[in-house]
Amino acid sequence: MSEEQAGAGDQGRPESQEPVRLGMTGGDTAFLVVIGAALGAGVAALLPVAARWVEERGVPFPGILQLLASFDSDWLVWGRPVIGLVVGVVAALLITHSEPALTVSTDSVLVEKGDSRRRIKREDVAGVYRDGKKLVIETEQGRRLYEGGVEGRRDLVRAAFVDRGYPWENED
């Protein structure tokens, strides 16, 4: 059997492409944690100032803000920013944990989100495209096997699928 005949059955799909992971990197996670920590500490430190400003302006229903700022123990001078920092870090970690990650190989796409993992077989995929900011993976009948965001530059996401033989339907 010639090489042309051997390749005809697999529709010309690449055989030796390494899987590629699309999603948040460790650097992305670290960046979000730092931003979350800074925002949390900053907001918590400025809470008394914001509560005074709200009270002076006569803003209706300032309740929760004034309640949080009213705690005036000595330890809260440094404790409030530390609590805000911890809350910011936890929020950032929850965000990164809930972001989807796709591992694209020549035979399947592994979708990981939080603690759940789902594998989409290559033979079930009839089309991959962008719909706004969402990535969509569809069957021949139009059933959406995946619809959601994915971290990564548009050209790298496209290349991950095209290089592994998936039908990319956008013109970009």
Tokens representing 141 are 């009948």
Arithmetic mean of pLDDT over the chain: 82
CB 64 within 8 A of CB 123: no
Q: What confidence score (pLDDT) does residue 140 get? A: 92
Q: What confidence score (pLDDT) does residue 72 get? A: 66
Indicate if the pLDDT at residue 87 is higher than 90.
yes
Q: What is the mean pLDDT of residues 2-10?
A: 39
Indicate if the pLDDT at residue 91 is higher than 90.
yes
Classify burial at 40, counting beta carbons within 10 Å of its beta carbon; exposed 0-12, middle 13-18, buried 19 or more. buried
- What Å distances lie between residue 57 and 42, 53, 71, 153, CA to CA? 22, 6, 21, 45
Query: What tens digit of pLDDT does each residue of 12-71 get?
Result: 445 557 999 998 888 999 999 999 999 999 988 887 777 777 767 766 665 665 666 666
pTM: 0.68
Q: What confidence score (pLDDT) does residue 164 get? A: 93
